Chain A
Amino acid sequence: MAREQHDYDDIPGTYVFDQDRSRQGFGINMFCMSLMKDENRKAFKANEAEYLKKFNLTPEQTDAILKRDYNRMLELGGNIYFTAKLGATDGHSFRHLAAVMTGSSQDDYANMMLAGGRSVEGNRSKSGKVAKAAKKPAKKPAKSKAKTRSKSRSKRG
């Protein structure tokens, strides 16, 4: 059965770890959790494919883990706090993972962050329906309130 669609699937470059992904990715996340123990890290490193057999993974999930395809792991139900443990087992910093997931070099990623991070402009919506800050939660309602207030005041006055 195809994945049920949600409003947040419209956010670009984002795999929301929802109930459906959690169900599918239970094996990935339990595998990652197992890496918290040193003996398991050693067993995994000694024979990765063999070690993964313990976790009831689909062939796609196994493939994504063996290839360290971090985006694919997220898509197939892995969660970043868990997959980061695989990165740590490989001796990688989080910046390495971020560079892999964003398709940039570690330096470029670090420089982007120093320059204020990835802008939300142009990164809100796949469909383009939400091109600009459609809802400024902070300001618009305040303005409309002010409007109604001043109106009612002028009526009274």
Chain B
Amino acid sequence: MAKIIAGVSSSHVPAIGAAIDNKQTEEPYWKRVFSGFEKSKEWMAQAKPDVVILIYNDHASAFSVEMVPTFALGCAAEFPPADEGWGPRPVPVVKGHPQLAAHIAQSVILDEFDITVVNKMEVDHGLTVPMNLLFGSPKEWPCPVIPVAVNVVLYPPPTGHRCFMLGRAIRKAVESYPEDLRVVVFGTGGMSHQISGPRAGLINSKFDKAFLDNLTKDPKKLTRIQHLEYMREAGAEGIEMVMWLVMRGALEDKVDEVYRFYTVPASNTAVGHIILEPHRRAAKKSVGKAKKPAGKMKRAAARVKIDRVRS
């Protein structure tokens, strides 16, 4: 059976792609950003996923305003890099996994996610920048990628809760796929940023850091953040962070934070990045019974701590 071995989130700032393409990664401004992904690349080289499911949004490249699917699943055999006005990025063509993608479509639609099936699509920096950040710049991407495009450009995007539930449905689909595949799910975009209007340049590190904390600890709390709050606190375009919740929904309730990186800015944006793996001990089902009292004890210990702090 296929299984999801980890979730990764990362910003997908276009200027990061431009810095890679123009070989500026060693410049101090950019080194600060790229150095944060060195460990991630090492982690990825060890994780060696068979497939990546990558949640991202299109930026007026594949979808324009003629058609705006809320959720779109890339089912094609390949996805060429889009020309975003400066010629296509010099990155490898993204190879899809049509068979697993078809299985996911079949499964999530019956799970009441009326996803749009896309059999021909170009992919922009929203997808290729996170690929670079986690895999570097190889001649060929090391594994197939299933793109899942989420509309976060035309208001309203799907709610954070809906995104989280889509992640759940994707997990269910992956876990019912008969081939033994190791899958990593990417949530991309964010973190706080606004690139439009007189308030452009907004950054809110407090909001971002709380979001990163709760992604591990209490994702359900994050699913209750309203769109108004994302836009007010994290900028009009910061609402992209709902896409991280698809990734989180695709993981088990309990996860371990393996790595985190945060820096401000990359052009107009706060760069956030996190790697989550399923909670180690929870993975061993045989000790499930023995775990419960331990959990209770932990909670009791936590309460004592809180009481102490108070008094």
Contacts and interface: CB of A to CB of B under 8 A. Distances in A.
Interface of A: 7-8, 11-19, 22, 26, 29-30, 32-33, 35-36, 71, 74, 79-82, 85, 88, 94-95, 98, 101-103, 109, 112-114, 116-120, 123-125, 130, 133, 135-139, 141-142, 146, 149-150, 153
Contact of A117 (B221, B225, B265, B307): B265
Nearest to A120: B204
Given A114-B265, A117-B270, A13 B197 contact: yes
B73 to A, nearest CB: 22
Contacts of A30: 64-66
Given A116-B264, A138-B214, A101 B227 contact: no
B294 interface: no
Nearest to A77: B65
Given A85-B60, A118-B201, A133-B206, 13 more contacts: A8-B231, A11-B228, A14-B196, A14-B197, A14-B198, A18-B156, A29-B65, A30-B64, A33-B60, A98-B268, A136-B210, A137-B229, A146-B303
18 contacts: A8-B227, A8-B231, A13-B200, A14-B194, A15-B197, A17-B153, A18-B155, A30-B65, A32-B60, A74-B196, A80-B237, A81-B60, A98-B195, A116-B264, A118-B199, A120-B204, A133-B233, A137-B225
A18 B15 CA distance: 26
A124 B194 contact: no
B203 A118 contact: yes
Nearest to A41: B85
Residue among B85, B201, B231 with max Cβ neighbours from chain A (10 Å): B201
Given A133-B206, A137-B229, A94 B65 contact: no
A9 B199 CA distance: 13
B296 interface: no
Contacts of A88: 85-86
Contacts of B207: 120, 137
B198 A16 contact: no
A130 B232 CA distance: 9
A139 B229 CA distance: 15
Contacts of A125: 232
A120 B194 CA distance: 11
Contacts of A13: 197-200
B224 interface: yes
Contacts of A149: 303, 306
Given A14-B196, A30-B65, A81-B60, A138 B213 contact: yes
- Residue of B195, B197, B200, B229 contacting most chain A CB atoms (<10 Å): B200
Interface centre among B65, B155, B211, B221 (most CB of A within 10 A): B65
Nearest to A141: B221
A96 B218 CA distance: 40
Contacts of B203: 113, 116-120
Contacts of A22: 65, 154
Interface in B78-119: 83, 85-86
A98 B232 contact: no
Contact of A102 (B200, B227, B267, B310): B200
Given A71-B198, A94-B195, A7 B228 contact: yes
Nearest to B204: A120
Nearest to B198: A13
A120 B303 CA distance: 34
B172 interface: no
B60 A138 contact: no
B198 A124 contact: no
Contacts of A33: 60, 64-65
A138 B211 contact: yes
A94 B267 contact: yes
